[in-house]
Amino acid sequence: MLTGIDHVQLAAPAGSEGLLRAFYGEVLKMAEVPKPPALAARGGCWFQAGPVQLHLGVEAAFTPATEAHPGLRVRGTEAYEARLAASGAPVRWDRELPGHRRLFSQDPVGNRLEFLEPTP
């Protein structure tokens, strides 16, 4: 029986950890989670905000995920839009999902991200 999602992993190119830390840590305000030493040797980095964890792992033949993506539930989509735009990340609003405000963006290595906020 499934009881939840522990984390979502996205791929990243080798050497992109600095960009990822700036984006996920400073722009999205996620805390970096220390990786166990054996896994840290592989590169990449992990982030957490509340119960949500995103792991970014190094992939030798990296191609950004441009369709597959995490859907991140947030409060204050306008604040996310402002922070993303200020960082230079693209922002695209989508009004096609009833009952939600949502926007799409990309991390600095090109992975697609979705931000959703339920509307009353």
* Domain residue extents for the chain: 8-118
Query: Which CATH number among 3.30.420.40, 3.40.50.970, 3.10.180.10, 3.20.20.70 corresponds to the domain 8-118?
Result: 3.10.180.10
Burial (CB count <10 Å: 0-12, 13-18, 19+), residue 111: buried
**Average pLDDT per run of 10 along the chain, which is 120 residues long?**
93 97 97 95 96 96 95 95 97 96 98 96
Name the one residue in this structure whose structure tokens are 């990309």: 106
| Cα-trace Rg, the chain | 15
- What is the predicted pLDDT for the residue at 24? 98
For the whole model, what pTM was predicted?
A: 0.94
What is the number of other CB atoms lying within 10 angstroms of the CB of residue 78? 10
* Residue 18 in tokens: 């600095």
